[in-house]
Amino acid sequence: MRWLVTGGAGYIGAHVVRALAAEGLEPVVFDDLSSGKPEFVPAAVPFVQGTILDYDLILETLKMHEIAGIIHAAGFKYAGVSVQQPVHTYEQNVTGTLNLVKAARDAGVRNFVFSSSASVYGTPKEAVVTEQTATGPESPYGESKLIGEWILRDEAVADPQFRHVNLRYFNVVGSGTTEVYDASPHNLFPLVIEALLAGRTPQINGDDYPTPDGTCVRDYVHVADLAHSHVAAAKALAAGTKLEVAYNLGSGDGMSVRQIMDGFARVTGIDFTPIIQPRRPGDPARIVAEGKLAARDLEWQMRYSVDDMVRTAWEARRAHE
């Protein structure tokens, strides 16, 4: 059974590709390499270089490889930058998703796993987000993800055979293989790693929040756990198992930025004291997501400690120096 993984040359998508292969499923990668890396794609996996804005190429790929389902992990993923580039964000994330759904319909592909985002919740009043928490995205990125969910919802109404699921999550970290690492210029882990490799001191934005150690608490989930549940969702859809429309892939309790910094000091052996910067406007003190429904239905589990997360991220990045 072949699954198309859009964004399969990216950090998350490349882990999904490996998780699919490990389960005996046949991944096919579709990626424009705007942020992905060709070396992240295993040599044995078919790779189509192209943009999800190209409907004809998507349709050709679905038919040529006899795709049974799509895991949609492609997109413009930088929430902060999306505020300065809203048109680009909507084009990539909304128009791209529309093209995928249209091509899936025209090719007879009826299984769709959407790599959504917990950013659809915005800044909720609840400290722990559940699937019942009201959505209220606060950036074009979050809005584009929510619109993507609406597109899938409406297609399922129009075509009852169309089966889909939305997976929502916050901060993805670590690595399941030294072949793949997080190269994002905006995420906490690569920012800390690049600072340490360059001999600079990592920074914390604010240490006076109403949290146990004064720094922001966030959901950090390991990319291998995330990939595992993407594959579990794909298998469930293919088997006709009844699923919820959306699942949070969350820790339920979170970790503070200070805890992450302490983990880096322990794992790397580099003794450093983070530089404290002023708070960033709009940063809430604590946001984490509950993952109980995903644990019930999608084999979701937090299998890695903070030191495991740091160690695997550090080793993967060092392997590419």
Q: Is 75 left (phi over 0), alpha (psi -120 to 50) or beta?
A: left
Tell me whether residue 141 is one of the annotated catalytic residues: yes
Around Cβ 38, how many Cβ atoms within 10 Å?
A: 11
Do residues 148 and 117 touch, judged by C-beta distance below 8 A?
no
Out of 141, 169, 209, 220, the active site residue is 141
Please report the sign of the dihedral spanned by the C-alpha atoms of residue 212, residue 213, residue 214, residue 215: negative
Residue from 41, 34, 17 nearest 230 by CA: 17
CA–CA separation, 77 and 92 (whole Å): 10
Active site residues: 141
